[in-house]
Chains A and B, each alone.
Chain A
Amino acid sequence: MDILYKVFIEPFVFMGEAPDLLLQTLWEGLVSGVLYALIALGFVLIFKASGVFNFAQGIMVVFSALILVGLYEKGVPAFLALILAIGAMLLLAVAVERVVLRPLVNQPDIILFMATFGLTYFLIGLGELIFGGNPKEMITGPLFLPQGTTELEMFGGLVRFQHLDIAAAVIASIMIGLLAVFFSKTRIGRALRAVADSHKAALSVGISLNQIWVIVWFAAGIVALVAGIMWGARSGVSFSLQIIALKALPVLILGGFTSIPGAIIGGLIIGVGEKLGEFYWGPLVGGGIETWLAYVIALLFLLYRPQGLFGEKIIERI
């Protein structure tokens, strides 16, 4: 009975007793949730337009941030480095389309998925070869990212808001908004949606698949760069970020692979759930459950709703 009390009663009592701590935990969960959502968004972009489940998205986050920081360390001015990093993502998009996607078109999804594993490892090797394997500090000042914290007194305690986190949440929201507009209002965005529905139909109305792929991979690269700057500013730039980037996968499972709102809500659920779980239930089992909680939540969720929160129900035909 004691264990039941500890699992089902005590954490909630604790939440009620110290609402300031609860608010702090929720806020941290929301911030990491927004960043998960941003990474997941990169997956969704590519999946919608090319049906490729891009495992390398997480690595693109680190890779792009590494280029930015690495160039800056070599003496390139921050904004030039930013532009060069964007350029590198364009180059990557073109290269991926040429070398990976084009030869593998019409292969089963799972083959393309595995090809992105190859891409992942290639990028890890390349990034470390050029910039070395040591963790790096993200540049914040020259990019006008705010520092410092605001402490607000509420619920009988202090709740700390890092300015950087606020900036991250705002910038991520702007990105998401821009992408939503891009998809629904622009010509290219509509073409992307057409391609997502049917490759053949899109071809028959004169949409070039190759161009579309370059565009989405480039867009996903920019999303990755933004995510990389934000994550990097919070916890440094190194390939260990990859583990965090993998968290976007459970986010996608919750949200469905094709839905932008799904990615956002999934990201928030995972981010908040993870932080709450770690803070209130983690100590029961010795802590550190953040590493797997997201996956287990996603796994349990899959058993009830395999298509995700917002995905369409899949009807199998024979």
Chain B
Amino acid sequence: MFYREAGQFKSTYPADMAIFPLREDRIGIAVIILAAYSLAFLGNAFLLQAVMIPFLVFSLAAIGLNILTGYAGLLSLGTGAFMGVGAYACYKLMTAFPDVNVIVWIFVSGFFSAAIGALFGLPSLRIKGFYLAVATLAAQFFLQWCFIRIPWLVNYNVSGALDAPLRTLFGIPVLGATATPQTRYLVVLTIVILLTWVASNLVHGRIGRAWIAIRDMDLAAELMGIRPLQTKLLAFAVSSYYCGVAGALLVFLWYGGAEYDVFNINQSFFILFMVIIGGLGSLIGSFFGAALIFILPIVLGIVLPAMLSPFGLSVGADVIEHLRFMIVGALIIFFLIVEPHGLARLWQIGKQKLLVWPFPY
């Protein structure tokens, strides 16, 4: 029908190696991007502020962790802390150099978390699997302690919290109380699209192959001349870069200000769950996972009271939070059992079916 492989012949290697070799896929992506941008003008402030901005921010963090855990096969429980490094670095940079555009600092702050991430990635040469997970817990708790105990990081302000000062882009406020959700959404969307494109370039090239090779069969990869330490450290650095940028976006473009506590271990876990449910080793899966885990409590908050109110039962916010934990936990187990490649694989199967529709194969 409208989604077919037939008739699209590739006469050059670059065409065959394109990330979306199918014309329909390319059109689909263009439509999604267009729709995302027009949402800034069609959607109301609540939708942008409470749904779309956090969804994009978490997607970016999930892409970051997916690079490390999904592609390079290195499990990390320190994502929250690496996000925090980005946020604190961004705060220091933009308050120390207020004249430089804040967008520049958002991108630069990622390099700080990349460096810290690579540092905590050093043990990955010698340890694997859950041993490494415990090592990253060291990063989580140590960095969180730093956020609390080093007042220099928040310029000695009494509250100990990060706040978003007023910053503009082309004269329009993007940070601070006067920035509209619309502007912030557009900034976040652009950054996320740009970084997703870069991530997709990386994972489809030499570096991505090296990551997957190390994940699938590290000894064989080493005998191909792939250097394990460099490859793993690069994965840590790139992953932490993404998390760092996501952390900066989270604090300054979503919350508008935050305390150290948003970078706690539960944050690390929720990002990891997004990656598992969305699909390990899939960029698009990171978006699916972020959507499911982030939007779930919102939907529960709307659906449950509506379902229970006819029976005279009321549902508190705490109950929804507890149910969220239970459902997310159950979903993790469900996906690991039924489809370890997550929502991304379901998506792929759907596309495959569509390709040959109406025939079964």
Contacts and interface: CB of A to CB of B under 8 A. Distances in A.
A125 B325 contact: yes
Interface residues of B, number: 42
Interface string B215-230: 0000110000000000
Contacts of B142: 292, 295-296
Given A115-B332, A291-B145, A298-B138, A121 B219 contact: no
Contacts of A249: 134, 137
A201 interface: no
Given A117-B272, A125-B325, A288-B149, A104 B336 contact: yes
B58 interface: no
Contacts of A110: 75, 129-130
Contact of B329 (A111, A121, A133): A121
A288 B144 CA distance: 11
A108 B328 CA distance: 21
A114 B326 CA distance: 15
A7 interface: no
B276 interface: yes
B126 A104 contact: no
Contacts of A253: 131, 134
Given A129-B319, A292-B142, A286 B149 contact: yes
A286 B151 CA distance: 11
B325 A128 contact: yes
A291 B137 CA distance: 11
B127 interface: yes
A45 interface: no
A124 B273 CA distance: 15
A202 interface: no
A65 to B, nearest CB: 18
B305 interface: no
A99 to B, nearest CB: 7
A295 B148 contact: no
B3 interface: no
Contacts of B126: 302-303, 306
Grouping DSSP codes into helix (H, G, I), strand (E, B) and loop, the B interface class, with mixed when no group exceeds half, is: helix
B130 A125 contact: no
Interface string A161-194: 0000000000000000000000000000000000
B276 A114 contact: yes
B336 A114 contact: yes
B118 interface: no
A110 B131 CA distance: 11
B330 interface: yes
A279 interface: no
A289 B148 CA distance: 11
A99 B337 CA distance: 9
Interface in B295-350: 318-319, 322-333, 336-337, 340
Contacts of B219: 316, 318
Contacts of B329: 117-125
Contacts of A128: 318, 322, 325
B331 A303 contact: no
A125 to B, nearest CB: 3
A12 to B, nearest CB: 24
B123 A125 contact: no
A109 interface: yes
A109 B135 contact: no
B262 interface: no
A317 to B, nearest CB: 9
B133 interface: yes
A100 B336 CA distance: 9
Contacts of B255: none
Contacts of A104: 336-337
A113 B145 contact: no
A303 B149 CA distance: 27
A228 interface: no
Given A117-B269, A125-B326, A288 B123 contact: no
Given A103-B337, A288-B148, A291-B144, A109 B129 contact: yes
A207 interface: no
A118 B276 CA distance: 10
Given A114-B332, A121-B273, A289-B145, 6 more contacts: A122-B333, A287-B149, A291-B145, A292-B138, A295-B134, A295-B142
Interface of A: 53, 99-100, 103-104, 107, 109-111, 113-115, 117-126, 128-129, 133, 243, 246, 249-250, 252-253, 285-289, 291-292, 295-296, 298-299, 302-303, 306, 316, 318
26 contacts: A53-B130, A99-B333, A104-B336, A111-B336, A113-B75, A114-B272, A117-B269, A117-B329, A118-B328, A121-B328, A122-B326, A122-B333, A125-B326, A125-B329, A126-B322, A126-B326, A128-B322, A129-B322, A243-B265, A246-B137, A292-B141, A295-B141, A302-B123, A302-B131, A306-B126, A318-B220
Give 7 nearest A-B pairs by CB, closest first.
A118-B332, A125-B325, A122-B329, A125-B326, A121-B329, A295-B138, A292-B141
